[in-house]
Structure 1
Amino acid sequence: MQNHSVNIPIRAWFGDQSLLLTFPKNWSVQECRMDGHGAKPLGYDELRKQIDEPIGAKPLSSIAKGKKQAVIVFDDLTRPTPVKDIVPPVLDILAKAGVGPGQIRFISALGTHRAMTRDEWAKKLGEDIVENYPVYNHNAHEHLVDLGKSSSGTPILANREYMSCDLRIGIGCIIPHVDAGFSGGLKIILPGVVGMKTINYNHMKVMPRNPDGSISEFTFGKVYGNKLRDDAHEVARKVGIDYKIDAIVNEKRETVKIYAGDGFDSFYEGVKFGKKFYATMPALGVDITVSNTFPIENEAGKALWPCYLSTREDGDAVVITHSPDGQIHHYGNTRFGTEYGGEQFAMARKLPRASYGRTHILNPFHAKMDTEYFGPMDSSFLYKTWDSVISKLAGQYPDGAKVAVYPYSSIQCPPFPEDL
């Protein structure tokens, strides 16, 4: 698309607003949308139908019969899953199978992320669930059950409350992921509800790395032969899960399709669809790449791929985020002092080397130490408004510029080789 203005979504989970990006008239501007742009969301009846049409497992309505205690694990606000739309039909299915409210609890599958607040639970689950059901934050540091090791040597420590239940259900989404290939499937278990030692070993020892700690293998979109994910699958099977529900989401964070079942076969089927749905034909060799991190604005690193792929050498990357909470706190890799942090800290600082020259960060809610999630500290520049960004860039490109805009880049991906 050729435009001189592009309307982008911002503030996921905080009002879901929009921002109009305007450009000089002598610039060539291309908006790069995913193939699934504009897909319509499912209604309640279709959601319920697809939830109970499993791949690789019996229907949830059958599995739930005779169960005593149920747990539903769900992702946090770093994922766009509209869990509160998916939970009602799940509870309806459970009720008809004889599993009532007094037998059900919810656990936020945080991995190494910080605990969710009551307000965040309400955004994710809905007020009714928070008021009427027990909801717990996963704690990766304690209250864990030791289940041995995986064949790769990963120690398997799982959430105690989760392990106490005889019906285990997960709710998440299938979207592109820079390390695991795609989010979703059994990733709700590792890293979701396992211990810090489990996660650190999987991320540091199992994931292929160079001697300096940087990732040695390109695994964006790779779900077969992905050592990180293969180990996570093995761990998840030892921990156990009865039913996994994964959403395919559109650019408005709405569910357009459900893949449910064992979390393994159902995941791979979902990825086949997701690779086409989220696929975005990239612009190449542009002067300026604008990457809007919506809907995962609190994990900007997941949205940098267009900057690496589209920007010419010594060009400019613009990364946009509007998350009042800033970047999510990872106990595994966050900086806790001047030169130290979580166990994965040193490795997490190893961003791929970029050929483009400068990173311009549009972030009204910026914290200084968040800068390193966007780009090198010495070549990154901070702005509060779009007008200030475009004023700076217009001075650099008075004779025109070629621009690519990725409007919701954290769920977009390039067409991967097997799909070209």
Structure 2
Amino acid sequence: MHVFELPYGDSTIKLTLPDKGFIGEFYPRRQSTTDVGDVLIERALDNPIGTRRLEELVRPGQKVVIVTSDLTRPCPSDVLLPHILDRLNSAGVSDEYITIVIALGLHRKMSVEELQKAVGKEVYQRVRVLNHDVDDTVHVGTTGRGTEVEIFRPVAEADFRICLGNVEFHYFAGFSGGAKAILPGVASARTIRQNHSHMMENGAEAAHIYDNPVRMDIEEGVSFVGIDFILNVVVDEHHRVIDAVAGDWIKAHRVLSERLEKTGTVAVEEALDIAIVSAGGHPKDINLYQAQKAIDNCAGVLKPGGRMILLARCPEKFGSETFRKWMTSGKRPAELVEDLKRNFVLGGHKAAAISKVVLKTSEIFLVTNEEFAGEKLVGIECFSDPVEAIEAAFSEKGADAKYAVFPLGASTLPRIK
């Protein structure tokens, strides 16, 4: 028997699985370096890609905005921000000219306690920290694809914009990070909806970036306001920085995305009957809205009719009221996909993405907290006991079922060799 310990919320779940049919346990590959954290961050800031150093670009008296992620993202803002603030101060920009904006997209506003946790208490006391407000935006232009670009006023009106972020696979924008800090990060609901509607087009998929319609629309939209400097990182399962780039908002992001594709893409010998996937623990499984990314990443290695078992604690359950309504609608997966094609709805797009996976494979087994396990979801059967989910999957697929384990599903992109 094989024993696995998989991330689940802030802890782990231990699973015992048979030797027979085992294809492998797959993690992202790590770059061969002993440098982590502050060393990598400082090296990136000392050697920016496509620009001069931050302290050589910014000028005293400029209103500087730093855009960073909320707590649903594993971006270590509290680690990155002191490095940025030190460089700004050394260039003569005092703290009173600096504002940190939390890029919420359409997520809920963060409390004072959450803001302090996100940026660090010392930073919170030093500079102004704001939640992005989707209702306080400025129209800055219209993309060639018809997206009306409306950006949070303090960001649009800043003299100098810095964006922080973590880069990981994104199921329809190719990768997170880069310009996504602005769009959808600090955009209006209308802008986000119009941009995300392109997810149904060809090329809108994980690790696909150069002719990805969503990414191209994002970057055209952001070009109307511009980003003066980025610091983007890759983090491991312990939220430690293991890679970093800084500099130009497109060139630096491309470099880190290409590195991540090389390390995060893993080859699986053959198609699977069963994929056992952890979203990767907190915050990747804070709700089903976030955990969905692991579903999309790992679905491509399943046979038609294959079974995915997803481990995601989901203490915040759905993460979106619209998503909840779609997932509990009682409709068939094919109906949700058709509904989205007829009328694109944010929140509904996540339900349709799950439904597309279900239509290609089969119903997903979700191992989650006991309260959430009582929900009746489109295309998903919920379990609070992982053993029951495992037994049900092997009962369906047989004792000879080929299976593999993906402990960090949101950070791994498996492909058939």
Decide: shared fold, TM above 0.5.
Answer: yes
C-alpha displacement of 1:336: 8.4
Counterpart amino acid of residue 219 in structure 1 = E
Percent of counterpart pairs with the same letter?
25
Residues 67 and 166, structure 1, Cα contact 8 Å, conserved in 2: no
| Matched residue count | 397
Q: Distance in 2 between matches of 1:357 and 1:338?
A: 18
**Structure 2: stretches of 5+ with no match in the other structure:** 330-338
Q: What's the CA shift string for 1:325-353, capped at 9, x where partnerless?
A: 2233277x663898699943555432315
**Aligned counterpart in structure 2 of residue 344 of structure 1, from 319, 343, 346:** 346
Which of 224, 227, 241 matches 1:238?
A: 224
Q: Following TM superposition, by how much is the alpha carbon of 1:394 offset from its aligned partner in structure 2, in angstroms?
A: 5.2
Q: 2:245 aligns to what SS in structure 1?
A: strand
Residue 212 of structure 1 aligns with which residue? Answer: none
- Judge which range, 308-317 or 234-243, deviates more: 308-317
Change in 2 beyond 3 A, CA 1:300/1:41: farther
Within 2, Cα distance between the matches of 1:175 and 1:71?
Answer: 24
Deviations 1:141-189 (A, max 9, x none): x111121322322112111111232121111011111101111111111
Tell me by how many angstroms 1:246 deviates.
0.6
Cα displacement string for residues 201-257 of structure 1 (whole angstroms, at most 9, x for unaligned residues)? 1122xx163xxxxx5545221101111111111111112221111102223221111
> Take 1:359 and 1:183, find their aligned partners in 2: how far apart are those partners?
25
- Secondary structure, in 3 states, of the residue corresponding to 1:257? strand
Q: What CA RMSD, in Å, does the superposition of the two structures yield over aligned residues?
A: 2.9
Give the structure-1-normalised TM-score.
0.85
Distance 2:205 2:234 in 1: 20
Give unmatched runs, 5+ long, in structure 1: 210-214
How far 1:304 sits from its partner (Å)? 0.9
Aligned AA (2:41): L
1:364 to 1:349, Cα distance in 2 relative to 1, 3 A: closer
User: Matched residues in 2 for 1:249 and 1:138: separation?
Assistant: 24
Q: Aligned partners of 1:401 and 1:77: how far apart in 2?
A: 38
Deviation sequence 1:299-325 (CA, Å, 0-9, x none)? 121111355222233332101102322
Instruction: Say which is worse superposed, 180-189 or 399-408, in terms of deviation.
Output: 399-408
- 2:246 corresponds, among 260, 277, 294, to 260
Question: Larger % of helix: which?
Answer: 2
Corresponding residue for 1:360? 365
Please name the residue that 1:176 is paired with. Answer: 169
Select the residue among 297, 300, 304 that pairs with 1:313.
304
Aligned equivalents of 1:4, 1:337: Cα separation in 2 = 34
Which piece of structure 1 moves more, 284-293 or 260-269? 284-293
| TM-score where L is the length of structure 2 | 0.85
Indicate if the aligned counterparts of 1:38 and 1:251 stay in contact, CA closer than 8 A: no
Sort the Cα spacing of 1:311 and 1:247 in 2 relative to 1 into closer, same or farther, 3 A.
same
1:83 aligns with 2:77: yes
Contact 1:246/1:258 (<8 A) preserved: yes
What amino acid sits opposite 1:190 in the alignment? Answer: L
SS in 2 for 1:105: strand
What amino acid maps onto 2:157 in structure 1? S
Shift of 1:139: 1.4
> 1:104 and 1:399 mapped to 2: Cα distance?
60
**2 CA distance for matches of 1:219 and 1:46?**
29
Residue type matched to 2:91 in 1? Answer: A
Assess if the C-alpha contact under 8 Å between 1:185 and 1:263 holds in 2.
yes
Alpha carbons of structure 1 residues 249 and 317: separation in structure 2 relative to 1, 3 Å: same
SS at match of 2:233: strand
